Amino acid sequence: MIYETTPLAVAVFVAFVVAVLALSIWLGSRARSAGGYFAAHGQVGWFVNGIAFAGDYLSAASFLGICGMIAFSGYDGFLYSIGYLAGWIVALFVIAEPVKRLGRFTLADALNARFQSRGIKVVAAVSTLVISLFYLVPQMVGAGALVKPLLGLPHWAGVVMVGIVVTGIVATAGMVSTTWVQFIKGTLLVAICTFVVVLILGRGFAVPERPIPPDTVQTYSKDASGTFVNGAPLSADNQLDSKLRRDFGTGFGSIASLPGGVSETGPLGPIEYIRVFADSTVTTWKKGSDPAGSTAFSPVERKGSDLLLPGGSPTFKGVRADSIASKLDFISLMLALFLGTASLPHILIRYYTVRDPAAARKSTVVGIGAIGIFYVLTLYLGIGAMTSGALDPTDSNMSAPLLAKTFGEGLFAVISAVAFTTVLGTVSGLVMAGAGAVAHDLMKDAMRMELSDGQQVRAGKIAAVLLGIGAIILGILFERMNVTFLVGWAFNVAASANLPALVMLLFWKGTTRQGVIAAMAMGLVSSLTWIMLSADTLEKVYGYSAADAAASSLVPFSQPAILTVPLGFATLVLVSLMTRGRGGGVATED
């Protein structure tokens, strides 16, 4: 589809980004020491830190990906919302306060608090970098996807913009400016999404002027000579939804019939909105191909109640199958979301920015509140987009911004700018975690380089610049790939590599240095190996067809956490028992 760039959109976008940057740099201008650079002097207030948690955690995958998944497939996107939020329970009840007590700047600090082991530092730093990499790529690709419709710029320009801005944020004042970017972003995201949901409820549902016949087909093809819609070149007057709008008065995604045969509902309350949707029939669009090889979209009417059951998307279709392997894949992903949050390095380092464990606890509660509100809103945003007549069937990630566009260009510009700051906030946290792992864990502690406070900060800034350049390159290379699934993998790897070591260190006195190293290495290697051999990777990374990928896969399902997390625990216990009294040391918490 072609999106028109308007001066208003550009002005709002530029104003947002400049304001966020200026404020963060001003607020962070006093960070000079390593404590200031890596942990904001440990003086961030618990409320600000709580909202910054939301800003750090609610990534492009949450905002654009979940809304898009609900808009295209229904309830399955909401499963991610539930799993992502549930993970904070592990963070609050098990991890938050001990991690704050044990650590200083990084995840490795907490894991290594009792052992002073170079091995733990190395494996924790590698784990941090791998997880951050999995998380970074979809954010960068999301940035590229956003600037195309908003500013009319190519994908690479968006990726470069994010890379430069984030490197600027992290290299100027590290965790202080990162915290304020995340705070501003978290506040804006929840506030703007709440506003859009109020508008959605106020509008209610309406059926199109004329019903869409089931034999309607819209085709789309792209080759060296250009892009074609229904056999004619793509243009402002011949977009994928142009004919639909002319013939039926709506684009993709609409209500086919409302309960009671009414043509519109008028404003609805939040419970009534879901209830009416469940009792309605919705026109969704199935993707296929026509005899000429073009991608063909044809309408499929589905009951709203069916769209509010799990298993409607390719990701979770196993829920509706009878095969145990398919169901295990689903359970494994939900387990990874539950256990992965509290193991994500860029989340854990936020605990070092507050004064004490009590502040860590309170800020997590604030974070759960803000994040929980957002995830409830995702269901309304997704359903609103699904029935807005404004979907782009070639790009689910644009569902939320295009929904906002149905309320006016101004809101589209604001939502897109907020989405861009969403990317900035999360990428800043990821680069910060990576910079800490390189400068503090690898260079200073593992390689035993004699670094003064100032040198450590400089090393962190150089690492941030290098990570920013790496992120830009990966964001450009992965443009064509559907990368949302990488976030799910990041949760699998984080849960497998980090959680067993963190939990056992806190709750089992018999944990040894060797046990921690072995468990982290086992969790990291086993989860990565499993992912690389899975059907999902064969299809989405190596380009196999779905059938070939399923036939060639060496593992029975794609999400490894259900096996690799227990494997990490078992490895730690076994190795710790074998190495007790042999210089392994044992762990106790202060």
Partner 1 sequence: MSDDPDIRRGARLGIAFFSIYTAFYAAFVGVAAFGTFAAGAPSGGLASMAALGLPWGVVAGFGLIGGAFVLAVVYAVIAGRGGRT
Interface positions, 366-425, toward partner 1 (CB under 8 A): 368-369, 372, 375-376, 379
CA distances to 340, 347, 367 from 87, in Å: 7, 11, 12
Residue from 22, 26, 29, 93 binding partner 1 (CB under 8 A) = 93
Q: For partner 1, which stretch binds (CB under 8 A), given 36-44, 52-60, 95-103, 547-555?
A: 95-103
Phi, psi (rounded to 5 degrees) for 425: -60, -45
CA distances to 221, 228, 344, 472, 551 from 430, in Å: 37, 39, 10, 13, 36
Residue from 45, 310, 410, 470 binding partner 1 (CB under 8 A) = 310
As a whole number of angstroms, the distance between CA 287 and CA 314 comes to 12
Residue from 2, 8, 23, 82 binding partner 1 (CB under 8 A) = 82
For position 361 contacting partner 1 by CB under 8 A, the verdict is yes
DSSP SS3 for 226: strand
For position 573 contacting partner 1 by CB under 8 A, the verdict is no
As a whole number of angstroms, the distance between CA 350 and CA 532 comes to 30
As a whole number of angstroms, the distance between CA 166 and CA 513 comes to 36
- 194-215 core/surface letters (b: 16 or more CB in 10 A; e: else): eebbebbbebbbbbbeeebeee
For position 157 contacting partner 1 by CB under 8 A, the verdict is no
For position 86 contacting partner 1 by CB under 8 A, the verdict is yes
Residue from 214, 320, 408, 578 binding partner 1 (CB under 8 A) = 320
Two tokens, residue 579: 């190495």
In total, the chain counts a number of residues equal to: 590
For the beta sheet containing 295-303, the strands, ordered from the edge strand earlier in sequence to the opposite edge, are 232-233, 226-229, 218-223, 295-303, 281-289, 254-257
Residue from 209, 264, 356, 453 binding partner 1 (CB under 8 A) = 356
As a whole number of angstroms, the distance between CA 571 and CA 525 comes to 12
Q: For partner 1, which stretch binds (CB under 8 A), given 78-86, 132-140, 215-223, 446-454?
A: 78-86
For position 99 contacting partner 1 by CB under 8 A, the verdict is no
Going by their DSSP bridges, the two strands 254-257 and 226-229 should be labelled as unpaired
Two tokens, residue 485: 């699934």
Q: For partner 1, which stretch binds (CB under 8 A), given 203-211, 309-317, 393-401, 451-459?
A: 309-317
- 488-506 core/surface letters (b: 16 or more CB in 10 A; e: else): bbbbbbbbbbbbbbbbbbb
For position 30 contacting partner 1 by CB under 8 A, the verdict is no
Token pair 């960068």: residue: 140
As a whole number of angstroms, the distance between CA 73 and CA 314 comes to 9
Interface positions, 224-243, toward partner 1 (CB under 8 A): none
Output 243 or 317, the one with its CB closest to partner 1. Answer: 317
Output 319 or 424, the one with its CB closest to partner 1. Answer: 319
For position 78 contacting partner 1 by CB under 8 A, the verdict is yes
**Shortest distance (Å) from residue 329 CB to partner 1:** 10
105 within 8 A of 38, measured Cβ to Cβ: yes
For position 90 contacting partner 1 by CB under 8 A, the verdict is yes
Residue from 23, 274, 465, 533 binding partner 1 (CB under 8 A) = 274
For position 586 contacting partner 1 by CB under 8 A, the verdict is no
Output 381 or 432, the one with its CB closest to partner 1. Answer: 381
The alpha carbon of residue 422 and the mean position of all alpha carbons in its chain are separated, in whole angstroms, by 10
Residue from 247, 306, 395, 548 binding partner 1 (CB under 8 A) = 306
For position 506 contacting partner 1 by CB under 8 A, the verdict is yes
Residue from 17, 94, 465, 525 binding partner 1 (CB under 8 A) = 94
For position 75 contacting partner 1 by CB under 8 A, the verdict is yes
Site of interaction with partner 1 (CB under 8 A): 75, 78-79, 81-82, 85-86, 88-90, 92-94, 97-98, 101, 271, 274-275, 278, 305-306, 308-311, 319-322, 327, 330-331, 334-335, 338, 356-358, 361-362, 364-365, 368-369, 372, 375-376, 379, 506-509, 588-590
